[in-house]
Structures are given as structure tokens and as C-alpha cells.
């Protein structure tokens, strides 16, 4: 009889992690079947998804409130399904606001529960650790400083490294990527990644596009390339470009974000997992993040933020390697100034950034998916 592993992933990055984990688990257990909520990557591994993953992909307080009835309905249906027919193991991948409560319900019903990818409680809402403790069997972390945090608070934890660190080479081949995308070898290329969610385009698209228009007018040799996660976001961003800067010359590419970043000299992106990928590729970058004004007021009012830096490379290094523009700082003038500062980086600074990025990359290369599969097999399967 096949063992059942239930998984819930809430966004693109979680879908990728889930697919790699399924591959690793299948290599050890050909008698497993997987079900829950996942995206295209997981479906390609034979995963059965009960709901479209995109319905869980939402950020910020006000954004969640608008979708709250649907999110609660999905979670309730999953709980009822798995309480009636318990899986051998449940794995929540990221999406903490959705998964942690789901895990608590299942854990109380004696279903083995694992959370894969720690919520950023080291950065904000640290008191959440008390709700996590006692409500799951294991936390799998991608970064060593997270494991130390959980050990301090008595939560079962294992550091497994980051799958992206395993997949990406320590030295990227820029010319091969340019050849693949048909970009001239000596071009000055800025990769633009405005986000994988509609909410990110809502807040970042206009300042990004206006800044890019200014830069392209000033630097006639500047080539702009932007990977889009799906057709829907591509059409939306294309329309926004037409609305804000109809003369902007920017090439939109379906997927291939890794190839686009590798082909680029510099990166402009939404703050998130892509920034870590940019670090692995080894490119100087500007990361921008913006939420609704109400969400930010709540965060600031209740003192929920407990970190000096917002991006993972900066937190891992404990220094400013990535230029961060957050909330009120996401303006056309500051975007332009920040990107131009990348254009004028000295060779010494570029070498320093690349060296730091490589050291961090090596530290996170732990064969993460296999390591996670080994741990889950030993403990639960």
C-alpha cells in the first residue's frame, strides 16, 4: 500500500521547492503518492492538487483580508479531508499564515507535520515562535541563522541548505546566456524582475517603468530584458509599459528568469526569493519592496519588524551587499540613482561583491532536497 504525503505550497518558489523534494523522496520511496495544493512544477512530478495554487498566493494584511473567506474555506476543506483520511506525513512549504494553522490542526490529530522554509520570524513578528513550538514535528530551514533561532526556542529543527544553491553553478556563464537569448555579447544589460504576484506589479510597475524610461533615454546602449512568470502577468506588465512609457524598449521573456539574470550585467527586482537567486548568479542588484499603506502602518504601529536588512543576501552577510529600496524609498529618482550607482561600481567593489556572493553560495550548498528527503525518511517514512 502506498504511503501518502500531503503538501501545501502557496507560491511559485514553494512550487519549485516542492517539486525538487518530491523528486528526492521518490528516489528513495517509489511507493509514495503526493497530494494537496501545488503548482505546475509539482504537477509535473505526478502531484495531485485539490485547489489552484494561485489562490493562496497573496501578500500583506489588506490583501489577505480581501481574500480571507476563500482562504479560510480552502483551509477548512483541507483539514476536513485529511482528518477523515489522514496522510502519513504533511509538509507545509512556506505560506506560513496559511500553513502554520493548518499544521497545528493536523498535529493535534497526531498527523506528523513538517514546515519547510521558515517564516521570517527572525525579522518580524518573533512572538510567532511560541505558536510554532509544540504544533509541528520538525522545521526545515534553508539558512543556518534560522536553525540557531529555533534551537534557542526549543523547536525541533534541521538546516538543509537551499536547493537553488545546489542547482546554480558557483560561476555563471554570461556569454552562453546571452547567446541563448540572442543578446549581443558586449551589450549593457539590465534585467528587470518586477515580481511574480499581481500585488507586486500594482505597487512596483509604475516607478520601475518610469525609471527605466529615464535610464534608457540617458543610456542609449542600455538593453532591458524582463522575464515573466506567466502570460497573465506578462500581459499586465506589457499594458502598464504602454500606459506609463509607450516608447520604452523592453524585451519580455516567458519564464527563464535564471537565464535572463545570468545574461545581465545588473539586476532590478522585487524584493523576495529572486534576490537570493541574483546572489547565486553573482550580479550587482537593486531590490525594491512595497506593500499597501495600511499594511505598513500596522507593521510599524505594533513594532513587528526586528531586522536591519530586508533582503536575504544582506542578512546572511550582515552587511549591505544589495541596495534596498523599501516603501517610501521606491521612487523614480531613487531607483534611477541606485541603478546608476551600479553602473559606476569600481572593479574592486564588483570583485568584493562577487567574492561575498560566492562564499555565501558555497555555505548554502548542502544538497538540500536530498538532505530533506533523508531526514524525512529517517524520522517519518
* Segments of the chain scoring below 70 in pLDDT: 58-65, 122-125, 292-307
DSSP-derived secondary structure for 142-206:
SSHHHHHHHHHTT--EEE---HHHHHS-SS--HHHHHHHHT--TT-EEEEEE--SSHHHHHHHHH
Residues spanned by the domain of 291: 174-363
Residue 106 falls within a domain, yes or no? yes
For position 58, what pLDDT does the model report? 64
Q: Is 115 exposed, middle or buried (0-12, 13-18, 19+ CB in 10 A)?
A: buried
Q: Are 332 and 214 in contact (CB under 8 A)?
A: yes
b/e per residue 70-102 (b: at least 16 CB within 10 A): ebeebbeebeeebeeebbebbbbbbbbebbbbb
Q: Does residue 179 sit in the same domain as residue 145? A: no
For position 296, what pLDDT does the model report? 60
Closest CA to 115 of 372, 316, 306: 372
CA 227 remoteness from chain centre: 15
Q: Does residue 129 sit in the same domain as residue 228? A: no
Residue 58's φ and ψ, nearest 5 degrees, are -150, 145
Q: Does residue 8 sit in the same domain as residue 154? A: yes
Q: Does residue 128 sit in the same domain as residue 257? A: no
**β-pairing, 251-254 with 222-228?**
parallel
CA dist., res. 309 & res. 123, Å (int): 8
Q: Which H helix or E strand runs over 105?
A: helix 96-108
Q: Does residue 44 sit in the same domain as residue 97? A: yes
CA dist., res. 250 & res. 273, Å (int): 23
Cite the beta strand spans of 250-351 per DSSP E. Answer: 251-254, 266-270, 285-289, 323-326
Q: Does residue 157 sit in the same domain as residue 236? A: no
Q: Are 96 and 119 in contact (CB under 8 A)?
A: yes
For position 135, what pLDDT does the model report? 94
Residue 169 falls within a domain, yes or no? no
Q: Does residue 316 sit in the same domain as residue 209? A: yes
For position 154, what pLDDT does the model report? 94
For position 226, what pLDDT does the model report? 94
Residue 168 falls within a domain, yes or no? no
Q: Does residue 21 sit in the same domain as residue 71? A: yes
Q: Does residue 243 sit in the same domain as residue 257? A: yes
For position 122, what pLDDT does the model report? 64
Residue 167 falls within a domain, yes or no? no
How many domains, in total, are found in the chain? 2
For position 125, what pLDDT does the model report? 65
- pLDDT tens sequence across 311-356: 889 989 989 999 999 888 899 999 999 999 999 999 999 999 999 9
Q: Are 240 and 206 in contact (CB under 8 A)?
A: yes
For position 300, what pLDDT does the model report? 59
CA dist., res. 377 & res. 205, Å (int): 44
280: domain CATH number?
3.40.50.2000
Residue 179 falls within a domain, yes or no? yes
For position 335, what pLDDT does the model report? 96
Residue 166 falls within a domain, yes or no? no
For position 306, what pLDDT does the model report? 61
- Whole-structure pTM value: 0.79
Q: Does residue 108 sit in the same domain as residue 193? A: no
For cell 503518492, the residue is: 33
Q: Does residue 261 sit in the same domain as residue 142? A: no
Q: Does residue 153 sit in the same domain as residue 10? A: yes
Amino acid at each position: 500500500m502506498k504511503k501518502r504525503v500531503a503538501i501545501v505550497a502557496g507560491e511559485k518558489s514553494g512550487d519549485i521547492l516542492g517539486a525538487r523534494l518530491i523528486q528526492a523522496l521518490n528516489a528513495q520511496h517509489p511507493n509514495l503518492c503526493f497530494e494537496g495544493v501545488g503548482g505546475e512544477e509539482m504537477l509535473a512530478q505526478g502531484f495531485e492538487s485539490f485547489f489552484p495554487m494561485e489562490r493562496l498566493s497573496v501578500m500583506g494584511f489588506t490583501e489577505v483580508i480581501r481574500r480571507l473567506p476563500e482562504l479560510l474555506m480552502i483551509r477548512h476543506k483541507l483539514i476536513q479531508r485529511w482528518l477523515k483520511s489522514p496522510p502519513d506525513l504533511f509538509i507545509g512549504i512556506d505560506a506560513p499564515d496559511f500553513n502554520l494553522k493548518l499544521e497545528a490542526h493536523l498535529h493535534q490529530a497526531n498527523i506528523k507535520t513538517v514546515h519547510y522554509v521558515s517564516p521570517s520570524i527572525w525579522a518580524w513578528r518573533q512572538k510567532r515562535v511560541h505558536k510554532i513550538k509544540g504544533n509541528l514535528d520538525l522545521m526545515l530551514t534553508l539558512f543556518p541563522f534560522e536553525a540557531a533561532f529555533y534551537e534557542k526556542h526549543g523547536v525541533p529543527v534541521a538546516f538543509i541548505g537551499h536547493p537553488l544553491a545546489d542547482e546554480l553553478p558557483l560561476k555563471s556563464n554570461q556569454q552562453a546566456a546571452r547567446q541563448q537569448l540572442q543578446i549581443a555579447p558586449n551589450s549593457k544589460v539590465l534585467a528587470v524582475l518586477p515580481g511574480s504576484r499581481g500585488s507586486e506589479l500594482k505597487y512596483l510597475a509604475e516607478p520601475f517603468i518610469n525609471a527605466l524610461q529615464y535610464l534608457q533615454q540617458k543610456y542609449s546602449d542600455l538593453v532591458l530584458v524582463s522575464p515573466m512568470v506567466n502570460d497573465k502577468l506578462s500581459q499586465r506588465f506589457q499594458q502598464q509599459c504602454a500606459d506609463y512609457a509607450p516608447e520604452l524598449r523592453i524585451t519580455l521573456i516567458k519564464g527563464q528568469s535564471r537565464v535572463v539574470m545570468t545574461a545581465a550585467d545588473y539586476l532590478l527586482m522585487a524584493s523576495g526569493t529572486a534576490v537570493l537567486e541574483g546572489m547565486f548568479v553573482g550580479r550587482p542588484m537593486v531590490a525594491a519592496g512595497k506593500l499597501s499603506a495600511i499594511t505598513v502602518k500596522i507593521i510599524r504601529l505594533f513594532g513587528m519588524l526586528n531586522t536591519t536588512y530586508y533582503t536575504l543576501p544582506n542578512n546572511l552577510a550582515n552587511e549591505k551587499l544589495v541596495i534596498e529600496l523599501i516603501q517610501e524609498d521606491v521612487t523614480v529618482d531613487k531607483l534611477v540613482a541606485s541603478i546608476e550607482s551600479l553602473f559606476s561600481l569600481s572593479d574592486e567593489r564588483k570583485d568584493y561583491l562577487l567574492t561575498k556572493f560566492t562564499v555565501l553560495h558555497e555555505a548554502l550548498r548542502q544538497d538540500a532536497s536530498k538532505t530533506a528527503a533523508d531526514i524525512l525518511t529517517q524520522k517519518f517514512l
